[in-house]
Structure 1
Amino acid sequence: MRTGSALALPSTWTTPGIPPIVARRAELRALRAALDAAIGGDGRAVFVTGEPGGGKSRLLVAIGLEAHARGATVLTGTCIEELGRPLEPFDTAIQQLLRLPVAPGGSADAVAALESAFGPSGDARAIGREQLYDAVVDAVRDAAARNPLVVVLDDLHWAGADAVRLLERLAIGIADAPVLVVAASRSAPPDRSAALVGAVGRVARLAHVSRIALAPFTHDELIEYLGERAGLPPDRAAGPARALRTITGGNPFLVGEAWPRLLAAMETGEPAFEMPETSADLLRPRIAMLDGDALAVLQVAAVSGHTVDPAELLATVEAPREVALRALDDIVRAGLLERHADDSGYAFPHAIARQAVLDLVPPSEAMRLHARIAETLEARFPSAPRLVQRLAHHYDAARALGYGDLAVTYLIRAAESADRRLAHQQSAALLERASAVTSRSDEADRLRARAARSWGLAADFARARALHELNLESADPRTRVRAAIGFEDASWRPGLIGVRAAELLGAALAGIDADVRDPLYIEALASRGRALAFTGDVDGGAADGDLAIRLARAIGDERTLASTLRARIAQPDRIGELRERLDQAEELARLATGVDEDWAGAAGMAGAHTAYVLGDAEHLAAAERRLAESSLRWSAYWRYWHACAGFGRAFSEARFELAAARLAELEAIEADFRSDASSAVSATQTFMLRRETGRLGPALRLLTGDESPAANWAPGLMALYVEAGMLDAARRVLHWLLEHDAPARHVSTDWPGRLALMAEAALGCRDVDAARAIRPLMAEFAGCNLLLGFFVAPFGPADRYLGELDAFTGDADPGAHFVAAIELAERIGASLHLAYSLAASAEWSRATGDRATASKLTARARRLAGERMTRLLAILDAAPEAVESVDAAPEASDDLGDGPLTHRETEVLRLVADGLSNREIARRLVISEHTAANHVRSILMKTGMPNRTSAARYARERGLV
């Protein structure tokens, strides 16, 4: 940042004649407390909401002036109702930030990023959206390290979605820095911003974030108001206060307009003053005071915007300069415009005042004024602030007068400006607007396609698909093919089944020649292949995809080859094809170098998935790096998948706190990741994490055992039953899954996870028939890791499950599988998978009488488990060998279900006889419910009792209770 002195406050904050703030004592106290905390080094973010005229801006000015007086640096920004610059209100605030001196140790990279994005060129595309947002947070923190910083942002209800995301990031990032962020917005329709409400709702859960909702003035506050403004003592103010409350509803702006007239009426004995139907009507008497020239000047000012540059205004109005200047004086005296303290311009006292004037301008006259303002700006003010955006707005408003082409030109330029600052949603909306204005159908097609790409970058795939569908009606067959490709891409990304996409691609391809040297034809083949694969037609998808790659290689076009590889590696594949797919992901990554496309993200995503399944640690690390780079460069889409990979890696390594942090990150990104495909990703990840850390209790307590597998995700329901010890219910769902199995399911991305959960259920229920049915299905994955979705649920080596199934059924020697599972888990550094594989191998060694090996394997598993792997520790504790060591019971048998009861089993049997459930036993003995269920199962098998009632009778007959 450049060196400089303290920043000047906005001239509108010190406009002469503005009365002091009245009432709002509680709100001011809250803001002062936040300011005190920020100056003390504890960051705060405060969101102020209220109806129009509720006093939000006055409150912001009050705290901003106080912060400045106390020596804090104050940054300001506001949004405008019309088309603003990209990332407003941060545009102005960051320009101010760049004028501050660099703090010692400040981030030069952050400064460079901001200067690139907000400097003369305004181009952040080489930086990436996430890095840009991080740079804003870093620069704010760096500046605050030199001097406490207050960021005051007004009219956030008009902020674009991209700016709202940046605000959310900033509010989170200043928690431990001497920074106060105060942001105001309207809370009532039609201005209420859904994007802002969502963002504030997400961050409001943080301890350093608070909200202030401004209510209308109360009766007591109105008495205080009249005392300050009219000098009325409380006893004389009570009556007028009641009247003001009745006629204004306590709205501060309306109170300010109404009280002089009300008091005048009361003093002269005139009929009771009645509130006009609208706030505009309340201001009409002021407007009526103006003569024709002043009214004309005021109307030009209102159409121009909330703030008015005098040079622009004088150049636009048709009256002579002297007349216009006198008119401005009359307007200021009427209180309809306020002069800035530094005489740099004028502003309406409130948006309500400007709207009152606009309401009086006939539509035809408004169009004429928009055209005149645009022509004047374009011809005479090439350096005017927000010039491109203002010309786009004014020419668009005047398009019925023949300015449509100019409107399209400037809307496109405004969209390009937004694109350079990575404000993808604003860019998309502007391009859509331009497509609706242009009279040329081919240009409309191109603009819709560009808008769809921007919506895709914003991860709003539903909006992207809608635009592509419009282009499917184009008269140009090649445009229809591009639209079908775009529709498929916007369907695959959020995980929609590809039936409609495949149909659209087939119809579009029929409209062009099957030219094997045509890049468009080749890309459409690849796209159709991916769509077919996501309908379940894996063979058809592979055929199209492989053909497209061969054709792309034949024509030697790298961009076409990259497109075909990107589509092909996203298809679900059989195990035998994974190495080829990993090679293709690596090839795509090489083609992505230096290219302005998100190919590296696609390569990273496919590469990470495939490398984990294959147990290729080197390629897995490289793929994760590509995902990390793409998550910084591109939209929330890639940040989401990077966080998914991070969850999977942390979970596999038993770093459960980090996995929980990644899960929280995923849930936060989902609000930004505008997918319209329903998903149980977060719920499944939560289940996996809670299962390993022993925190499934709340979910298990909701189970009845009668839940329908058809109405729920059956594998998850079955897994919950197993953890709850509800084995009959688990067996019921397991057999339902086996009965409803079909080959088409075996190529879905959730099949490996389904298979793992079914194997766990078969083993937990001691169901030999189910285990034998599952075993050949599991064998396909020998030598690989099982992964549900994209790191939704990593289950680790399939060989561990194969070994356990073989050990249970006795149909084969499981030893080699356990060795393979341990080696695979070690190869990728997955300590959780390794610990489970060691425990499973130990159980088999113990069952075969190799107690020494079992002891060594168990000890190693325990060392890995530490205190983190709660579920695994419970399993180890329930093993006969573990019970012997803990209870010192030499009479205990090595084999589950054989021999006398151990000390712990006797203790559990007494509690069963007392009528306690597994959950109650677990709570009493401070063990997991899963462990309690294992003990009960062992007791029944050792005693030969068929159920808990018989076991309780057995205990009483032997004097154990």
Structure 2
Amino acid sequence: MEWPAIPLPRRFQVARRSRLVGRRHELAELEGIWSRVEDGDGQVVLLGGEPGAGKTRLAVEVAGALHDHGVPVLIAAAGKDAGVPYQPVVELLDHLFEHAPCCATERGEVCPLLAGAPYDLGRISGRAARHHAPEVTRTSGDARRDLFDALAMLLRRLAEEQPLAVVLDDLQWATQPTVALLKHVAGSTVDSRLLLMATFRTTAPDRSPELSEHLADLHRLDGVHRLDLGGLDTAAIADFVSEHAGISASAARQPASILRDRTGGNPFYLREMWTDVQRHGGVESLRDGRSVPASIADTIAVRLAGVGPEVLEIVQLAAVLGDSFDIATLVTASEVGGTRSVEAVDSAVSAGLLEAVDDPPARYGFVHSLTRQVVLDRLPAARLQPLHAQAAHALDRGPETSPDLYPRLAHHYLCAHPLGYREQAYRYACLAARQAAHSLAFEDAAGWFERAAALPETAADEVADSLFGAAQNYLRASEFARARDIYDRLTEMPDPLTRLRAAMGFEDTNWRPGPIDARAAELLATAIADCGLPEDDVRHVRATASLARALAFAGQHDRAESLGSRAMAMARRTDDRATVMHTLRTGLWHDLLPGGVDRQLDRVRELTALAREAVDHESLAEAAHFGALASYLAGRPVELEGYIRQERAAAASGRQPFMDYTATCMMQSRAFRRGEFDEAERLADAALQIGEFDAESTDGPHSVQLFMIRRETGRLDAVRPLVTGQEQFAGRWLPGLLALYTELGLTDGMRRTLRTLLARDVESYVADARFPIELAFLADAAADLADAEAMDTLLPFLTAYAGGNIATGQFVAVFGSADRYLARFAEAGGDHGAADRLFASALAMDRRMGSAVHIAETLARHAVVLHRRGDDPARAARLAAEARSHAEPIRQLRVLRWLDAISVGATPDGLTGRELDVLRLLAAGLSNREIGAQLFISANTAANHVRSILLKTGATNRTQAARYATDHDLV
């Protein structure tokens, strides 16, 4: 398909009129980046710098140069003031659909590119309809994901025939949903001939923590480049002065040096300063410091003071309208009449304050956003509020108002509400919120609802409705802490039904994760009692189910199961599917031990069926999470893999960060179990980045994940010189410190920490999501120390997992079979027969789960036990050899060190542990090549080991060596 040229928007064409000064290095780097795009390797360029650094000018230069060479370029800018959701993306699409040929033309039609899209882009771009977009039939069931996928698909298809460039200016003003969409497109087009460039400010107050987080996420993708623009150097400024003053390069050096000192090389400051210099006599005036204002703001202020009061009023109104505005709206909002308003705009253009952004001029904009900011900063509230009211009146068309104007009207009325516009401000803020939610911009929606609720003299029911809207949208955006805070406020409202709804909302955010306490249960119990609803009322049933989950989360499992079962029975009597689903979801928290697996899986299967029927991705993800946990605890690997697939699919469709987090933790634990330690660490880091919505709940799990990996790979040695065993306990997670002491063999520290931990009421900690981790760490330490009292205390809790596996609720850590720990307890207590049986049971479980890490550990632990007993050295040697065969390929140094310790001196002839392994395989009749394959070494290395064995044992050939192995009970 041959694409016709799509013109650059007028405002960006205007920006190219002046010659670009400097930036040779940046342009050279961008040329190299474009070469990769042409080779089919998608690239992302993040162009940062302070205000006025020339980011837009450089981006426009690149866009214009590509456009001149026939490359399709889509370019738009985010606006500082409130706009429609995904505003710059809408601007891009509008421009594309407006100028691309429709299906009636012979070439370049857009219609085929929209075919099969999972989302009708006409819902966000009114100009898409001219291309007769086909009906959407293939969707994921999640509109936000479908929108993101549809845009990515369109851009990929555009780039199939020839490279494509997309430029987003002023990313610092884009809303969170817009940046999320950008991240999705970047991640989905890495193998397309697409250049995605975005400019953003790097200085406060425009640089936000949210933007920094999103940029960090983008940096993890391949093909992402960060270019930060500094000031122009003196040579570049001299070039500018030479051109504009008409003097030689050598004559321009001195004034260029002065301008460099006074502007810092900032291109916008330079331009403004130069305008001022020209008004005061040209280059010579630079020698007179009085002719150059001390700050650029003063420069702009002086220019504003020189335009006259009527022109100034129009410029102030224009600043309230936005970075750009259409002349018709300005005239309508103005109080001086159409002709005088237009004349004032012309005067502002002549003064270098405004410029036309289309031709013929119908829209105008400020020459730079800093100019507009200076105008707004100098406006007192008494003047600013009436201007917002004028702007709102000009845009408000009552029932015929376009939804695209809701955000702008909400912004203006909110700013003007002290003048008597509270009702309009509330109405349009709620309309803007609903439009944002409809467009899947959940964070924007929550913000509008919060602003509506904050309006003074708003009725209590309106405040409550708005706050519920804000909390629900923060929940959909996985901003759990913010949602929780709003629900907490709502629990203090006077209406009991409002308090009940708020208490349920608070509980629903509290487990995603949240603090482990009884507050959610207390709020729900009080709210249910205050409402006095009949038992068959679905609100009462759902609240009761929520209370049951809150009790389970607070550790009251028996009461939670009883109350949850009662709620489930009541829900089934109502025959309301949504209520049944709610009670099933909350019921999944009641029993997280192997004994409750069958009941858990029954609930999971029922919830999965109902969720699929309702296309409820969140319920599908939750069912998959608990189904996977139950399957792992019970040792059912086939079901576990099925639920992992379900979780990943639900997370991909649901597009909620917490769902992505749990799915990633599942994948991380699977990689760990398989001994894929590099992949496990990569996924742990990915989970941390996804899970930054709650630092208290993600930093700890990430630390545990890294500890588990480094423990197995021997990387804890790096901290050995830093740890004494006498560390202070304050501010430390003691189970983790105990595990570190255990691995480093610091017995004094182990005893001190174990004693401190067991002095508490262990039963009270069972509800903590980290308890399975603590139990495994405590059990290891107690067994290593052969501490009978500690083992007696821990045995009942460990026995609850007998016959199953140990794991945390979100798969942050997995420990394999609990019977391995029970075997160590039995051995320490002198019951060797029970220990052997439990080790065999543990090994069978670990093999069934296909967990290389845990198979090696169980074999090695048993081998160590048998070696210490000394009554069956042949069996100990066989187990050790098999353990080594699992541990060596994955470089599980923790296990290999245990094996090395029991292999030294294992034979009277000083055979090493490795030589014993080779000897056993040699005795079994394997060739050097086969031995190498078994032990993951080369055939030459195996041959070297055989020669050493013959030398040490005095055997003259392989047959005699095999007889030696038999005689010494090594096989």
Please classify the TM superposition score into its range, dividing by the shorter chain length.
0.7 to 0.9
| Displacement after TM superposition at 1:648 (Å) | 1.6
Aligned to 2:776: 756
Which one of 665, 683, 701 corresponds to residue 703 of structure 2? 683
In structure 2, C-alpha distance between the alignment counterparts of 1:422 and 1:546, rounded to whole Å: 36
Cα 1:15–1:745 shift into 2, 3 Å: closer
In structure 2, C-alpha distance between the alignment counterparts of 1:55 and 1:565, rounded to whole Å: 57
Range moving further from structure 2, 141-150 or 168-177: 168-177
Quick check: 2:857–2:895 contact (8 Å CA) kept in 1?
A: no
Aligned to 1:307: 324
SS of alignment partner, residue 273 of structure 1: helix
Alignment of 1:539 onto 2:562: no
Which one of 282, 301, 305 corresponds to residue 299 of structure 2? 282
TM-score by length of 1: 0.84
In structure 2, C-alpha distance between the alignment counterparts of 1:781 and 1:102, rounded to whole Å: 65
CA RMSD across the alignment: 3.8
SS of alignment partner, residue 280 of structure 2: helix
Alignment of 1:508 onto 2:527: yes
In structure 1, C-alpha distance between the alignment counterparts of 2:696 and 2:291, rounded to whole Å: 50
In structure 2, C-alpha distance between the alignment counterparts of 1:579 and 1:205, rounded to whole Å: 41
In structure 2, C-alpha distance between the alignment counterparts of 1:143 and 1:732, rounded to whole Å: 66
Aligned to 2:21: 22
Cα 1:571–1:631 shift into 2, 3 Å: same
Cα 1:756–1:116 shift into 2, 3 Å: farther
Quick check: 1:54–1:251 contact (8 Å CA) kept in 2?
A: yes
Quick check: 2:94–2:126 contact (8 Å CA) kept in 1?
A: no
Alignment of 1:336 onto 2:353: yes
Quick check: 2:685–2:702 contact (8 Å CA) kept in 1?
A: no
| Displacement after TM superposition at 1:83 (Å) | 0.7
Which one of 251, 264, 285 corresponds to residue 266 of structure 2? 251
Aligned to 2:90: 91
Which one of 878, 898, 906 corresponds to residue 900 of structure 2? 878
Range moving further from structure 2, 55-64 or 85-94: 85-94
Alignment of 1:614 onto 2:634: yes
Alignment of 1:665 onto 2:680: no
Taking the TM superposition and a 5 Å limit, the aligned residue runs for 1:613-652 are 613-632=633-652, 633-652=654-673
Quick check: 2:860–2:898 contact (8 Å CA) kept in 1?
A: yes
| Displacement after TM superposition at 1:127 (Å) | 2.7
Alignment of 1:34 onto 2:51: no
Taking the TM superposition and a 5 Å limit, the aligned residue runs for 1:8-157 are 8-15=7-14, 18-93=17-92, 111-113=117-119, 115=121, 118=124, 126-127=141-142, 129=144, 132-133=147-148, 136-137=151-152, 139-157=154-172
Cα 1:505–1:276 shift into 2, 3 Å: farther
SS of alignment partner, residue 386 of structure 1: helix
| Displacement after TM superposition at 1:77 (Å) | 2.6
Alignment of 1:240 onto 2:261: no
Cα-to-partner distance string for 1:801-839 (whole Å, 9 max, x where unaligned): 223332443324234323432333344333433343344
SS of alignment partner, residue 190 of structure 1: coil
Cα-to-partner distance string for 1:856-877 (whole Å, 9 max, x where unaligned): 6555544444511413650573
SS of alignment partner, residue 290 of structure 2: coil
Quick check: 1:644–1:790 contact (8 Å CA) kept in 2?
A: yes
The answer for unaligned runs of 5 or more in structure 2 is: 102-106, 129-135, 916-971
In structure 1, C-alpha distance between the alignment counterparts of 2:289 and 2:605, rounded to whole Å: 81
| Displacement after TM superposition at 1:654 (Å) | 2.6
| Displacement after TM superposition at 1:513 (Å) | 0.9
The answer for unaligned runs of 5 or more in structure 1 is: 893-900, 907-961
Alignment of 1:781 onto 2:780: no
| Displacement after TM superposition at 1:647 (Å) | 1.2
User: Identity of counterpart residues, as a percentage?
Assistant: 33
| Displacement after TM superposition at 1:20 (Å) | 1.0
* Residues matched between the structures, number: 892
SS of alignment partner, residue 796 of structure 1: strand
| Displacement after TM superposition at 1:274 (Å) | 4.4
Cα 1:810–1:174 shift into 2, 3 Å: same
Range moving further from structure 2, 600-609 or 365-374: 365-374
Quick check: 1:457–1:634 contact (8 Å CA) kept in 2?
A: no
| Displacement after TM superposition at 1:610 (Å) | 1.9
SS of alignment partner, residue 593 of structure 1: helix
Taking the TM superposition and a 5 Å limit, the aligned residue runs for 1:707-856 are 707-709=727-729, 711-740=731-760, 742-765=762-785, 767=787, 770-771=790-791, 774-811=794-831, 812-841=833-862
Cα 1:775–1:373 shift into 2, 3 Å: closer
Quick check: 2:798–2:822 contact (8 Å CA) kept in 1?
A: yes
| Displacement after TM superposition at 1:14 (Å) | 1.5
SS of alignment partner, residue 521 of structure 2: helix
Range moving further from structure 2, 441-450 or 112-121: 112-121
Which one of 867, 871, 875 corresponds to residue 889 of structure 2? 867
Cα 1:630–1:815 shift into 2, 3 Å: same
Aligned to 2:409: 391
SS of alignment partner, residue 301 of structure 1: helix
Aligned to 1:420: 438
Taking the TM superposition and a 5 Å limit, the aligned residue runs for 1:389-468 are 389-437=407-455, 439-468=458-487
Aligned to 2:568: 549
Quick check: 1:46–1:182 contact (8 Å CA) kept in 2?
A: yes
In structure 1, C-alpha distance between the alignment counterparts of 2:490 and 2:874, rounded to whole Å: 71
| Displacement after TM superposition at 1:796 (Å) | 0.8
Range moving further from structure 2, 244-253 or 697-706: 244-253
SS of alignment partner, residue 46 of structure 2: strand
| Displacement after TM superposition at 1:578 (Å) | 3.5
Cα 1:117–1:741 shift into 2, 3 Å: farther
SS of alignment partner, residue 550 of structure 2: helix
Cα-to-partner distance string for 1:73-124 (whole Å, 9 max, x where unaligned): 32223111111222343333456678699999x9989843473764559999
Amino acid at match of 2:683: R
| Displacement after TM superposition at 1:400 (Å) | 3.2
| Displacement after TM superposition at 1:666 (Å) | 0.5
Amino acid at match of 1:483: A
Amino acid at match of 2:700: A
Amino acid at match of 2:543: A
Range moving further from structure 2, 676-685 or 786-795: 676-685
In structure 1, C-alpha distance between the alignment counterparts of 2:551 and 2:17, rounded to whole Å: 67
Cα 1:617–1:497 shift into 2, 3 Å: same
In structure 2, C-alpha distance between the alignment counterparts of 1:61 and 1:305, rounded to whole Å: 21
SS of alignment partner, residue 45 of structure 1: strand
Cα 1:774–1:368 shift into 2, 3 Å: closer
In structure 1, C-alpha distance between the alignment counterparts of 2:856 and 2:146, rounded to whole Å: 38
Aligned to 1:948: none
Cα 1:264–1:46 shift into 2, 3 Å: same
Which one of 270, 276, 284 corresponds to residue 261 of structure 1? 276
In structure 2, C-alpha distance between the alignment counterparts of 1:102 and 1:763, rounded to whole Å: 73
In structure 2, C-alpha distance between the alignment counterparts of 1:579 and 1:353, rounded to whole Å: 68
| Displacement after TM superposition at 1:797 (Å) | 1.0
Alignment of 1:471 onto 2:471: no
| Displacement after TM superposition at 1:16 (Å) | 8.0
| Displacement after TM superposition at 1:769 (Å) | 5.8
Amino acid at match of 1:75: L
Amino acid at match of 1:338: E
Amino acid at match of 2:650: S
Taking the TM superposition and a 5 Å limit, the aligned residue runs for 1:308-387 are 308-343=325-360, 345-359=363-377, 363-379=381-397, 386-387=404-405
| Displacement after TM superposition at 1:771 (Å) | 4.7
In structure 1, C-alpha distance between the alignment counterparts of 2:96 and 2:603, rounded to whole Å: 45
Quick check: 1:103–1:142 contact (8 Å CA) kept in 2?
A: no
Range moving further from structure 2, 858-867 or 593-602: 858-867
| Displacement after TM superposition at 1:675 (Å) | 5.2
Quick check: 2:675–2:853 contact (8 Å CA) kept in 1?
A: yes
| Displacement after TM superposition at 1:280 (Å) | 4.5
Aligned to 1:896: none
| Displacement after TM superposition at 1:783 (Å) | 1.1
Cα 1:413–1:42 shift into 2, 3 Å: same
Quick check: 1:709–1:736 contact (8 Å CA) kept in 2?
A: no
